[in-house]
């Protein structure tokens, strides 16, 4: 009997120690993740729920810290610790940080630590968006990867005056629609603009340096491809600036546009604009509170800049264990739709509910609490492609990605300009453009009248040196990568 008891106790002891050892091997890792935007009210609620899920699945939990553009710059500059951060072409510059080696080189690690993540993102995005000098420093977020610009119309009001919204249109085709709106409705300007102008209007080219040196998509396949040129040589862009000014003088645009910060959702503008994709602007918009219809006027245009619209990078100072935890977390986000939804849409039953739409697809319908307390850009918390569509609009990502095969693609590949040798000139040219940007984007300024002044000022600031340096770097890149 004694022997039996001894045997049982020994067995229990061994099992307990064994289980303990197993636990010790897999401690829960906490990662600090900086994401873009203002923290929504339900952050704690949503993150606690998501952490419970990810702890169980992969033994990783996050501390989600929301940051604005300025906060990213300040905190990166002060070397504040984080494990993983949002980075892109337009906020928390991927190029600058990667060149300065502030991001973890995940070229090998991502293949071994998160093979499913590596597999679910196309090779082209790893090589173009996430890489600098042939090394991978960031995980691209699968969202709209090309630039497609849409006008978003007030469907009910336009239909009421007998105008049908076309699926596609040219930028210049907007004028008769603005005119018609002006003639029938006098409570609001047809094209209400804030100082940022029409979102994405300048995406007729790939911007190489600031908003003054570019490579137009229209030149791809012509003799002038692979040339970096000043913005006034992009005819498509210049035509848009001219049209905007014409609409401004015709009274279609609010006169104080250049000094207006935002146009709130409460203003029922006839036309708004945005970077979107097929199916995005369709039906009732809970944000605007009206029925909307989108019409594409540009795109799809594709370049390294459009692919770098949203990414996540790991701190170069993070330990390998933390880096692995970050990659596994992103892997879970990219491969587990329920988990992706839990961060993007919140807690089921509280912030949103799954419903079946008219097409028989499972979509997410936000609750009132969800719309008010957990609402942010879709790309903030990882892959949009993997997440459920909202009940506002249904779209098929496979179809959208298929459409990218017909996109106008930049011939510059993964080229990224390194401004280190002409930093003072870039800063001075940036300051010149900062003076005119709001007025250009809102049509307040007559570009033809002001262009000689702008050119002269940019010349004084050193645009020629910047252009020469950018062209030199591009030529070198093309030589080594062809």
Partner 1 sequence: MRDHRQNGISASAPPRRKRRARFSRDDAELTLLSLPTVLWFIAFCYVPLFGIVFAFKNYKVKAGKGFLYSLFVHSRWVGLKNFEFLFRSPDLASIIRNTLGYNLIFLLIGVTLPVGLAVMMAELRSKRLARACQTAVFLPYFLSWVVISYFVFAFLSTDRGLLNSLIQAFGGTRVLWYQEKGPWPALLILINTWKTFGYSMVVYLAAITGIDRSLYESAVIDGATKWQQTRWITLPMLRSIVAIMLILNAGHLFSTDFGLFYQVPRDSSSLIDVTQTMDVYVYKALMQNNNYNYSSAVSLLQSTAGCLMMLGANRVVRRIDPESGLF
Rounded-to-integer distance, Cα 219 and Cα 239, Å: 15
Question: Under the criterion CB under 8 A, does residue 259 sit at the interface with partner 1?
Answer: yes
Question: Does residue 68 contact residue 361 with C-beta atoms inside 8 Å?
Answer: no
The verdict on 133 binding partner 1 (CB under 8 A) reads: no
The pair of structure tokens assigned to 7 is 């045997």
According to DSSP, residue 67 is labeled: E
Q: Please identify which residue in the block is written with the tokens 């939804």.
A: 341
The H or E element spanning position 333 is: helix 320-335
Span interacting with partner 1, options 12-20, 324-332, 396-404, 421-429, rule CB under 8 A: 421-429
Q: What's CA 230's distance to the chain center, in Å? A: 25
Q: Does 84 interact with partner 1 (rule: CB under 8 A)?
A: no
Cα angle for residues 241, 242, 247 (degrees, 5° grid) = 100
Q: Is 462 in the site for partner 1 (CB under 8 A)?
A: yes
Residue 177 binds to partner 1 (criterion: CB under 8 A): no
Binding string, residues 181-200; x marks residues near partner 1 by CB under 8 A = --------------x-----
CB < 8 Å & 24+ apart, contacts of 458-464: 458/212, 458/230, 458/429, 458/432, 458/433, 461/425, 461/428, 461/429, 461/431, 461/432, 462/422, 462/424, 462/425, 462/428, 462/429, 463/212, 463/213, 463/230, 463/425, 463/429
H/E element holding 2? helix 2-25
The reply on whether position 437 binds partner 1 by CB under 8 A is: yes
Q: Note whether 433 binds partner 1 by CB under 8 A.
A: yes
* 30 vs 49 by CB, closer to partner 1: 30
Regarding 468 and contact with partner 1 (CB under 8 A), the answer is: no
252 or 280: whose CB is closer to partner 1?
252
In the complex, minimum distance from the CB of residue 189 to partner 1, in angstroms, rounded to a whole number: 9
Name which of 146 and 463 has its Cβ closer to partner 1: 463
d(C-alpha 250, C-alpha 125), whole Å: 43
| Rounded Cα distance, 249 and 259, in Å | 16
**Size, binding site for partner 1 by CB under 8 A:** 44
Among 11, 160, 317, 372, binds partner 1 (CB under 8 A): 317
Sole window of 2-10, 161-169, 299-307, 312-320 interacting with partner 1 (rule: CB under 8 A): 312-320
> Does 107 participate in binding partner 1 (rule CB under 8 A)?
no
Does 436 sit near partner 1 (CB under 8 A)?
A: yes
Looking at the Cβ atoms of 52 and 434, the one nearer to partner 1 is 434
Single residue of 12, 424, 468, 476 touching partner 1 by CB under 8 A: 424
One of 460, 468, 472, 476 touching partner 1 (CB under 8 A): 460
Signed CA dihedral, 468, 470, 474, 477: sign only? positive
Q: Which of 52/317 has CB closer to partner 1?
A: 317
83 binds partner 1 per the rule CB under 8 A: no
Distance CA 94, CA 313 (A): 8
Q: Which is nearer to partner 1, 41 or 427 (CB)?
A: 427
Applying CB under 8 A, does 41 fall inside the site for partner 1? no
How far CA 21 is from CA of 8, 13, 14, 17, 26, in Å, comes to: 20, 12, 10, 6, 9
| 421 lines the binding site for partner 1 (CB under 8 A) | no
Applying CB under 8 A, the residues found at the interface with partner 1 are 73, 76-79, 81, 100-103, 195, 210, 254-256, 258-259, 315-318, 423-428, 430-439, 444-445, 456-457, 460-462
């Amino acid at each position: 009997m004694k022997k039996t008891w001894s045997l049982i106790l020994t067995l229990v002891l061994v099992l307990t120690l064994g289980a303990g050892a197993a636990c010790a091997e897999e401690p829960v890792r906490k990662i600090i993740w900086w994401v873009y935007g203002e923290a929504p009210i339900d952050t704690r609620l949503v993150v606690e729920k998501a952490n419970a899920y990810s702890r169980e699945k992969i033994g990783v939990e996050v501390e989600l810290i929301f940051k604005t553009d300025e906060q990213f710059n300040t905190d990166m500059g002060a070397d504040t610790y984080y494990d993983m951060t949002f980075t892109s072409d337009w906020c928390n510059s991927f190029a600058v940080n990667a060149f300065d080696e502030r991001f973890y080189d995940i070229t090998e690690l991502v293949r071994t630590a998160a093979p499913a993540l590596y597999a679910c993102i196309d090779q082209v995005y790893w090589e173009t968006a996430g890489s600098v000098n042939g090394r991978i420093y960031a995980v691209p977020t699968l969202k709209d990867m090309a630039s497609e610009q849409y006008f978003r119309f007030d469907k009910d009001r336009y239909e009421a005056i007998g105008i049908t919204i076309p699926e596609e249109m040219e930028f210049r085709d907007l004028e008769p629609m603005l005119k018609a709106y002006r003639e029938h409705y006098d409570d609001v300007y047809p094209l209400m603009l804030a100082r940022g102008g029409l979102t994405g209007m300048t995406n007729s080219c790939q911007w190489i340096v600031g908003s003054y040196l570019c490579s137009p998509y229209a030149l791809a396949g012509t003799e002038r491809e692979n040339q970096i040129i000043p913005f006034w040589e992009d005819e498509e862009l210049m035509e848009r600036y001219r049209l905007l000014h014409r609409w401004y003088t015709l009274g279609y645009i609010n006169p104080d546009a250049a000094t207006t910060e935002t146009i709130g959702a409460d203003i029922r503008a006839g036309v708004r604009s945005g970077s979107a994709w097929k199916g995005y602007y369709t039906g009732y918009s809970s944000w605007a509170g009206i029925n909307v219809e989108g019409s594409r006027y540009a795109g799809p245009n594709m370049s390294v800049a459009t692919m770098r619209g949203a990414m996540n990078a790991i701190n170069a100072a993070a330990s390998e264990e933390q880096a692995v935890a970050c990659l596994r977390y992103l892997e879970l986000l990219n491969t587990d739709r329920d988990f992706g939804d839990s961060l993007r849409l919140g807690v089921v039953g509280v912030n949103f509910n799954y419903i079946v739409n008219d097409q028989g697809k499972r979509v997410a319908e936000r609750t009132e609490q969800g719309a008010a307390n957990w609402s942010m850009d879709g790309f903030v918390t990882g892959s949009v492609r993997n997440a459920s569509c909202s009940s506002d609009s249904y779209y098929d990502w496979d179809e959208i990605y298929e459409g990218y095969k017909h996109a106008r693609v930049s011939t510059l590949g993964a080229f990224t300009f390194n401004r280190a040798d002409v930093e003072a000139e870039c800063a001075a040219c940036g300051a010149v453009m900062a003076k005119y940007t709001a007025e250009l984007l809102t049509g307040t300024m007559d570009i033809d009248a002001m262009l000689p002044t702008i050119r002269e000022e940019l010349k004084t600031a050193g645009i020629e040196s910047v252009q020469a340096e950018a062209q030199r770097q591009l030529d070198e890149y093309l030589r080594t990568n062809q």
